Amino acid sequence: MIKKVKIEQLKPGVFVHDFNCDWRSSNLVASQMLVRDRKLIDVLHSLGIHEVYIDTDRGDDIDAAMPQIEAQRQTEQALKSLATSKPAHARAIPLSEEIAVARNIKKQAVTVIEKAMDNVRQGKPLETEGAFQLVDKMQKSVSRNPDALVLLTRIRNKDEYTLMHSISVAAYVLNFCSVNKLSQQETLSIAIGALFHDIGKTKIPLSILNKPGKLDDNEFEEMKRHSEYSAEILRQAQELPPETMDIALHHHERFDGNGYPHRLKGDEIQFGTQLTSLADVYDAITSDRVYRDGMDRVEGLKKMYEWSEYHFNKQLTYDFIRSIGVYPLGTCVKLESALIGVVVGSSENLLQPVVRIFYDDSRKVNIPAHELDLSKTDDRVAGYEDQAKWNIAEMDIFEDVASELLY
């Protein structure tokens, strides 16, 4: 049985099934391991890991540990409670109308980031004029319908991670700022910082950046320097708000003081930096990379909620989750009516998305694909479905942008 346990309760003889730290696991020896002595427990403490999952079938049990199924049930219930605590952000226009505009913005964003990365590699200063114009367009798109831009930034090849990650993080940040009605000036400053938060990775050797296995100590220390490189690059650029440098330098700091490079704690970390950190981690853990596949977006939200207990500002994390929605675009769900489909849009109620129905589980038959706006029906989402089970990516049931939702 898989159980969740606090680090303080670990003991030799226990088998760790999941170290529960996907966002900082680069220097762990393996993803699973038998605890043979206190040395591993001390390492986990040093990494700021507070809880792990153990497998009692492969090692000793811990009576006080919570079964994983119970932990997941509690988290899912908590996410639904978050969704109902505040009204959702209304979409001014449908996803189908905004998607064409968002697609052009994505192309411009790729051009801006590629040019910035090339300039840095060649020792040239960072050009910012195009970035400000880009962020302004991104902000307007998100204010009309955030689903379109967030969706398109998710569509990437595994080897495009570094490039598309920055654009995606900026889109999540802009979505949050729009939902929570932050000022234009604050939104712009944070979004520019988010767009360039990882620009320093251009100075990290590709052998380290894309290494499929464990980084050795020297490689890991070099990887961590990307935040300092990023801050220095932005510091040398012209007309950038000071917040952008802080975001670049401190987006790997953690609320419990276990981040880097300065081990800042709590409100020592600026608001915009905390927000960018959330977007950075969520996109990182849910994205495919050359050396590993990302987790499902819903599982990513569950992890963010779980980590908010220690690593992130709890209330800010809750607001970030609400800005995304508990049923993100592309989530496969089963309704109370036994219909199964994929979330393709949002309504003003986060628990009542627009779902593209394709299967009737009560009759065990495929049905003609059609959209169902749950805010206009008595039907409700009963639970999540495993996308791999339905092989949705191979189904020819979508029109317009819906075929891109699951990439």
Q: Is residue 273 part of a domain?
A: yes
Last residue of a domain, one of 48, 64, 80: 64
Please report the pLDDT score of residue 403 as a whole number. 46
Looking at the structure, tell me whether residues 141 and 253 fall in a common domain.
yes
Q: Which domain holds residue 131?
A: 95-324
Please report the pLDDT score of residue 351 as a whole number. 86
Answer with the residue of higher pLDDT: 220 or 292. 220
Average pLDDT over residues 105-117: 93
CA 11 to chain centre: 32
Q: How many CB atoms lie within 10 A of CB 29?
A: 9
Residue 148 phi, psi (nearest 5)? -65, -55
CA dihedral 282→291→21→153, nearest 10 degrees, is 0
DSSP conformation class of 125: P
Looking at the structure, tell me whether residues 177 and 142 fall in a common domain.
yes
- Sequence-distant (≥ 6) Cβ neighbours of residue 356 within 8 angstroms: 341, 342, 343, 344, 369, 370, 371, 372, 397, 398, 402
Looking at the structure, tell me whether residues 129 and 228 fall in a common domain.
yes
Buried b (16+ CB within 10 A) or exposed e, 163-188: bbbbbbbbbbbbbbbbbbebeeeebb
Last residue of a domain, one of 47, 64, 81: 64
In percent, the amount of the chain with pLDDT more than 70 equals 92
How would DSSP label each residue in 202-218?
A: GGS-HHHHT-SS---HH
Residue 72 phi, psi (nearest 5)? -70, -40
Please report the pLDDT score of residue 407 as a whole number. 42
Looking at the structure, tell me whether residues 305 and 348 fall in a common domain.
no
**Cα distance between residue 107 and residue 93, in whole Å:** 21
Min mean pLDDT across 22-36, 38-52, 58-72, 163-177 is at 22-36
**Tokens encoding 142:** 């998100």
Of the pLDDT bands very low, low, confident and very high (cuts 50, 70, 90), residue 272 is very high
Q: Does residue 113 have a pLDDT over 70?
A: yes
The whole-model pTM stands at: 0.89
How would DSSP label each residue in 191-203?
A: HHHHHTTTGGGGG
**Cα distance between residue 405 and residue 108, in whole Å:** 21
Highest average pLDDT, of 36-50, 233-247, 289-303, comes from 233-247
**Cα distance between residue 384 and residue 397, in whole Å:** 19
Judging by beta carbons within 10 Å of its beta carbon (0-12, 13-18, 19+), is residue 149 exposed, middle or buried?
buried
Q: Is residue 359 part of a domain?
A: yes
If DSSP codes are grouped into helix, strand and coil, which group holds residue 288?
Answer: coil
Please report the pLDDT score of residue 402 as a whole number. 43
Looking at the structure, tell me whether residues 247 and 176 fall in a common domain.
yes
Average pLDDT over residues 94-118: 90
Looking at the structure, tell me whether residues 128 and 182 fall in a common domain.
yes
If DSSP codes are grouped into helix, strand and coil, which group holds residue 263?
Answer: coil
- Name the region of 271 (left: φ>0; alpha: ψ -120 to 50; beta: rest): alpha
Please report the pLDDT score of residue 159 as a whole number. 66
**Tokens encoding 120:** 């840095």
Looking at the structure, tell me whether residues 243 and 391 fall in a common domain.
no
Of the pLDDT bands very low, low, confident and very high (cuts 50, 70, 90), residue 37 is confident
Asked if 262 and 250 touch (Cβ cutoff 8 Å), the reply is: yes
Q: Determine which helix (DSSP H) or strand (DSSP E) holds 178, and give its type and residue range.
A: helix 161-179
Q: Is residue 42 part of a domain?
A: yes
- Sequence-distant (≥ 6) Cβ neighbours of residue 9 within 8 angstroms: 62, 64, 65
- In the block, which residue shows the tokens 């989530």? 331
Asked if 325 and 351 touch (Cβ cutoff 8 Å), the reply is: no
Looking at the structure, tell me whether residues 353 and 224 fall in a common domain.
no
Q: Is residue 161 part of a domain?
A: yes
- Sequence-distant (≥ 6) Cβ neighbours of residue 262 within 8 angstroms: 250, 253
Please report the pLDDT score of residue 294 as a whole number. 83
Last residue of a domain, one of 64, 85, 113: 64
Q: Is residue 88 part of a domain?
A: no
Structural domain count, the chain: 3
Please report the pLDDT score of residue 45 as a whole number. 83
CATH number at residue 183: 1.10.3210.10
Q: Is residue 383 part of a domain?
A: yes
Asked if 283 and 172 touch (Cβ cutoff 8 Å), the reply is: yes
Highest average pLDDT, of 79-83, 89-93, 150-154, 190-194, comes from 190-194
pLDDT tens readout for residues 324-380: 888 888 888 999 999 999 988 877 788 888 899 999 999 999 999 888 999 899 999
Q: How many CB atoms lie within 10 A of CB 219?
A: 18
Q: Is residue 69 part of a domain?
A: no
Beta-carbon-side half-sphere exposure of residue 267 (alpha carbons within 13 Å): 1
Average pLDDT taken over every residue of the chain:
88
Please choose, from the candidates 68, 47, 58, the residue with its C-alpha nearest in 3D space to the C-alpha of residue 5.
68
Looking at the structure, tell me whether residues 48 and 99 fall in a common domain.
no
Looking at the structure, tell me whether residues 320 and 346 fall in a common domain.
no
Looking at the structure, tell me whether residues 285 and 339 fall in a common domain.
no
Q: Is residue 81 part of a domain?
A: no
Average pLDDT over residues 80-92: 73
In percent, the amount of the chain with pLDDT more than 90 equals 56
Looking at the structure, tell me whether residues 214 and 254 fall in a common domain.
yes
